[in-house]
Amino acid sequence: MNAKQILLRVFSGILALVCVLSLVLTGYGFKQTLDCRSYWEEEGKQASEGFDKLEDGINQLRDNEDAYLAGVEAYKEGLEEYEKGEQDLEEGANKLSSGQAQYNDGASQLADAHQQYNENVAKIEAAKAQVEAGKADLEAGKAEVAAGEAELAAHQQEYEEGKAQLEAVTPIYNAAMATLARIDELKAQRDNYASMGPLFEDKVAELDMAIAVAEASLDMQLGGYSINGIVSEYQEGQAKIAAYEEGQRQVAEGKQKIAEGEQKIAESEAEIAAAEQKLAAAKAILDQKDQELANAGDELAAGYAAYEEGKDKLEAGAQQLSEGLAKLGEYEGGEEQVKEGLDTVLATDTYYDAASRPLLPAIAERLDPGFSYWKLDENGEPLEVNGQKFLSLAESLKVVRAGREFLADTTKLVTEEITGRALISALAVLAVLIGLVTAILGLAGRRIGALVCAVLSMLCGIASLVLTGFFGMEDPFSAIAGTGSVGVVLAGVAALVAAALLVLVFAAIPGSGRNKKTAPAPAEA
């Protein structure tokens, strides 16, 4: 085996190793291509489902838009009625409170009036009892006066006799009493002088004489009566007259008291009659006030019943409003979901290549300048319904259409990128397979076969590299998917082309192949 044959086999072995390495790299690159396709297929599926869901939501809103707007108007009307009902109920509560206060005040005043009336009734009854007691006392007084008069009549004679006796005895008694007083005075003087001693004996004697003369005069004045008798008769006569006159005084006083009592009873009866008349008038007023209070109580009870009925109606209205608001909330919740979906769609970024050139415009850039998915009023401001912005469903559908266009463009570019990578990988696999045949033929020393296969392998590899120039070395969608680039395949292909070139060179050298077998020499005879 010469040196050319050895080199052919060495480079054929190298080619075989490079083919194995290139096969591994190509398989890895092909797997990345499949992963990229799976990634974008899943992304496209999710995006398509999202667009379908968003469109269904928009269509559902469109189907319920009229009902929602009608519900908003009904809710506004109901809310106005509810607020008016609340105001009316509050006014009713205030009136009830004021009415209750007035009723309580009236009831309290009426209770005081009843108490005062009852007290007046009690006073009149007490006055009547006093009048009856006064009448009884008056009758007793009359009886006493009559008894006193009877007593006076019974002692009339004694009284006359006492007066006559007193008239007869009084002059004697008065004179005797004066003389007796003179005698007592003289005796007092005599005792005084006698106590002064003998120097006044003459004066004492003189006084004794005067006393004797006075006593003799007294005896003459008594006319045979003793002083005690005269005094006794005088006092007896006085006693008879005094007892009778005391009886007269008592009778007169009793008559005066009877007259005063009768006048007082008459005045009391007149006062009682006037008080009863006033009491009757007060009773009539109390009865009227009782009826008015009862009517006020009935009105108050009716007011409370009406208040409770209004309260129940208001609660029912609040429940209806709550249910209506919940239904409106369902639509508004759907609007919010659609809005979130629209924002998500419009937030899609533009795809750029490695040179930062726009590769795929974002969805928002596909819409008209100043685009808004809100319904606008005549001033170009977002229209508000039920206190929040209102979606324009027609404009919202434009976002969906732009999104579908973006998805279709993305699918187209991804398909082109994956197709290019798949063709490059396919040619690389073909180059590897032919390169393996080349290596086998070269190792077997089949120079011509190795030469032809090396040319074919190189052509496939070069074609793979040429396709790279057509599709480009940039793989933006593969990079987004995180599945690498076509460079790993191209590295293997380049190595394969270089190894195949070496085999081609040495296979083209004559004598590098396997030696031909020579015929055996003829045997000698």
pLDDT in tens, 137-148: 888 878 887 877
3-class state of residue 360 by DSSP: strand
What Å distances lie between residue 335 and 299, 329, 390, 430, 489, CA to CA? 52, 9, 8, 56, 50
Buried (b) or exposed (e) across 168-184, using 16+ Cβ within 10 A? ebeebbebbbebbeebe
Please report the pLDDT score of residue 231 as a whole number: 64
Secondary structure element (H or E) that encloses residue 226, with its range: none
pLDDT confidence of residue 164: 67
CB burial string 268-292: b at 16+ within 10 A, e below? beeebeebbeebeebeeebeebeee
Query: What is the CATH class of 106-297?
Result: mainly alpha
Which parts of the chain register pLDDT below 50? 515-525
Whether pTM exceeds 0.95: no
Tokens of 148: 């006193």
What local confidence, expressed as pLDDT, does residue 165 receive?
63
Listed residue (463, 473, 468) closest to 500, CA to CA = 463
